[in-house]
Amino acid sequence: MSNKEPTYTEAFEELQQIVAEIEEGQISVDELSEKVKRAAVLINICKAKLTSTEQDVNRILKDLDQTAGELPADERSL
């Protein structure tokens, strides 16, 4: 378990892993508390991802402008 915030893909996969372990009865009561805590963190990451985006249109447009000069002049007017 790394210290940095997992990506939602990592969070999703780790969550599935925990569910699988729990369903297969691989988790002991000793580990349960830690796993449940971890699962709660992962669930929050996944749910947050579903209902929010951090994209910034202006940044994308800026990136596009930086490369626009490489395109033919007639196509830029499109």
Distance CA 38, CA 46 (A): 13
Nearest to 31 by CA among 43, 40, 41, 22: 22
By CB under 8 A, is residue 26 in contact with other proteins?
Answer: no
**Interaction pattern, residues 56-75, with other proteins; x per rule: CB under 8 A:** -x-xx--xx--x---x---x
Counting DSSP H helices and E strands in the chain, the numbers are 4, 0
Q: Which two tokens stand for residue 7?
A: 């990506």
- We find the least distance from the C-beta atom of residue 3 to other proteins, in angstroms, to be 22
| Identity of the residue numbered 69 | G
Q: Which residues would be at the binding site for other proteins (CB under 8 A)?
A: 8-9, 12, 15-16, 18-19, 22-23, 27, 29, 32, 35-36, 39, 42-43, 46-47, 49-53, 55, 57, 59-60, 63-64, 67, 71, 75, 78
